[in-house]
Amino acid sequence: MIDVLLPMLATPGTHVPPGDDWRHEVKWDGVRALATIDGAVTLASRNGNRITAAWPELVTAPTGLADTVLDGEIIALNERGIPDFRVLAERMHVRNTATVARLAQRIPATYMVFDVLRLRGEDLCGLPLEERRRRLADLDLSTSGWQVPPEYDDGAMLLEATRTQGLEGIVSKRIDSTYRPGERSHHWLKFAHRHRGTFVVGGWRPQTGSSDRLAAVLVGEVTPDGLRYRGRVGSGIGPKQSRSLTDALAPLGRVGSPFADEVPRADAEGTFWVDPVVVIDVDTHGLGYERLRQPSYQGMRSDVSVDDLADDLADNPGGH
């Protein structure tokens, strides 16, 4: 059995690097996953949790591969044909076999493979990206339904093209970069068009006139000074999202706010506090503000924990 590895992570970039030393890929709005092929296929999330049961359509092993580990992103398309994490969010937390099978038919996922860490027993992590991508291109993944997305020489062109097409952004990678499992590297740079952040839920508020219908959550950002309050998020929480959040938050009730700073009275009144465990994605307008501007709920992140956010902060103290 192959040990479960953690994926290498990219650092937020300030400008797309030019030149022949870099290659550029589409940044997929999905769920990062490592696929281990060792007789069967095992899928593991960004934090090492096994998520195979949620994606039955992705567990057909490619022909001729064994003792192999691949890195990629699980994606699903929205009604406009664009990869969208919100479409995946409905499937991420489901484990009932019948429900999973039904969702796999209605919301089929694709595994976009962009790196190979181990190939038929050979550890490739110490090889440069250029060689790993060459090995990956030689594989036949057609029997699994997986895909190998292209890479591009012109990062500026790709950034503009993804912006025009409504995609999330791009990732730029040095062609000589080795694969460093579990580390965040400046040899991989990410550029996102949308301002999306990952936050921790510290409380919830019911719908006006109701005592139990969740209508909004209070979220905070992991900082060196603790969980700092960033605002209330209600947009994007419809009946289905409300039920999922209610199920996740119900056992986490507590007395008193979990935030390190004071929550404004208007937000605190009527709020049910919870232990800061549940992690969600939020889209917002603008960056660098004390409070989120026009935030919109995007989904729960079972693949990211509060500890992961703290680790990311330690590795990248200047970014979110």
Burial class (CB within 10 angstroms; exposed 0-12, middle 13-18, buried 19+) of 170: buried
Residues contacting residue 306 through CB under 8 Å, at least 6 positions apart: 200, 222, 276, 277, 279
| Pick from 5, 48, 4, 33: nearest CA to 179 | 5
Residues contacting residue 300 through CB under 8 Å, at least 6 positions apart: 89, 92, 93, 244, 245, 248, 278, 279, 280
Query: Which pair of tokens denotes residue 279?
Result: 């992690």
Of 27, 173, 190, 240, which is the active-site residue? 27
**Amino acid sitting at position 73:** E
Examine the residue annotation and report whether 27 is marked as an active-site residue of this protein: yes
The whole-angstrom separation of Cα 215 and Cα 204 is: 8
- Chain centre to alpha carbon of residue 224: 22
Length of the chain: 320
The residues assigned a catalytic role are: 27
